[in-house]
Chain A
Amino acid sequence: MSDTERHPLFMPLILVGGLIFGFGLGFSHMARPEVVLDFLQFEDFGLVFVMFGGAIVTGIVYFLAPRLLGEPLLTKRRFERRLKPFDKNVIIGGSIFGVGWGLSGICPGAAYASLGVGNVTILWALAGMFVGAYAQGLVRSRIDAGDAATTSAD
């Protein structure tokens, strides 16, 4: 989808969706690492209701929207389910993410929301995420370049 084809309401709709998403993260206190760590230490199981409550809402919409609407309201792209291919990276990456989440109580969306509730200290976590994402991209590019060189040599 090119920028010129974008509906004038595309950005406003993304903003409204983000506002409601962030409001929910603030309301549920997921923007507080302490609350997430309480869950992971079995002291407060509330997070289950946030994640599965949210997933049930999206589950209903993901199921009904393609059947009732046919195509998205503002774009000509198809409704697609979020089905990423499964491979060992899902386990490896999920485990690395799990170590970071368990250590800090912070994940990306909740970190953005934490900034919104006034938590300046969270910039440490955000800085870390950018460093991690950059390092991953750098290493992955080198590996891919190495693979390409090997393949072409064959």
Chain B
Amino acid sequence: MVDPLPIQLLAEYFPNGISRYAIGGLFVGLGASIIYLGTGISAGASTFLESTLSYVSGLSRFQQYVSSRDWRWVFTIGIIAGAAIYSLTLGDALQYTTQVQPWRLFVGGVLVGVGTRVGKGCTSGHGICGMGSASRTSIVGVATFLLVAIGVAQVVAALGVSP
């Protein structure tokens, strides 16, 4: 008889199964790969913040992205529309709303905005494209933000902040 213990352990760590995550991840990688195959560009999601700020600010920090800001808009609109296509076909038809409190989203967002720019990338730039490039900088970046995020999330949960 097959020991069911490993399967039970797996179910405990993956209450929503694995296929949803693995298939979604393959699509994320495929999207980045198509852009790379066509253009040679490693598309990160967070540079859109700076490239869009170049419309309203003359700071040289942002102006360096003027030449790429049009296609970064197209990439971002594609991400929004792609998620909408999922939601309208296999999802819950645009009915999802997060319960995480607005102050957590806003303060977290500010720190994400600062951190990805100081740290040269985010979960897509470092996590998908950088690790795909076997970049040591990206692997260190991913390890750093993963470990810190785990620590912070545990502390926030321990303090009873929910949702």
Contacts and interface: CB of A to CB of B under 8 A. Distances in A.
Closest 6 CB pairs of A and B: A18-B78, A132-B113, A128-B109, A93-B119, A28-B24, A104-B108
Nearest to A107: B123
Given A54-B128, A109-B124, A72 B24 contact: no
Contacts of B24: 24-30, 50, 53
Interface in B116-155: 116-138, 140-142, 144-154
B60 A141 contact: yes
B105 A33 contact: yes
A28 B21 CA distance: 5
Contact of B38 (A3, A13, A99): A13
A141 B84 CA distance: 37
A9 interface: yes
Given A18-B77, A33-B98, A109-B79, A13 B111 contact: no
A150 interface: no
A85 B141 CA distance: 11
- Give the interface residue-count category, chain B: 35 or more
A14 interface: yes
A97 B150 CA distance: 12
B127 A137 contact: no
Contacts of A73: 37-38
A154 interface: no
Contacts of A127: 106, 109
Contacts of B91: 26, 117
Interface string B69-97: 01100111111111111110011111111
A100 B115 CA distance: 8
B154 A22 contact: no
A108 interface: yes
A137 B117 CA distance: 8
Contacts of A45: 13-14
B56 to A, nearest CB: 9
B133 to A, nearest CB: 4
Interface in B20-45: 20-43, 45
A131 B49 CA distance: 9
B61 A17 contact: no
Contacts of A114: 83, 96, 98
A141 B105 contact: no
A137 B57 contact: yes
Given A105-B108, A117-B96, A19 B153 contact: no
B15 to A, nearest CB: 6
B1 to A, nearest CB: 27
Contacts of A85: 137
A75 B35 CA distance: 11
Contact of B133 (A20, A83, A108): A83
Interface in A15-65: 15-35, 37, 40-59, 61-62, 65
B7 interface: no
Nearest to B31: A21
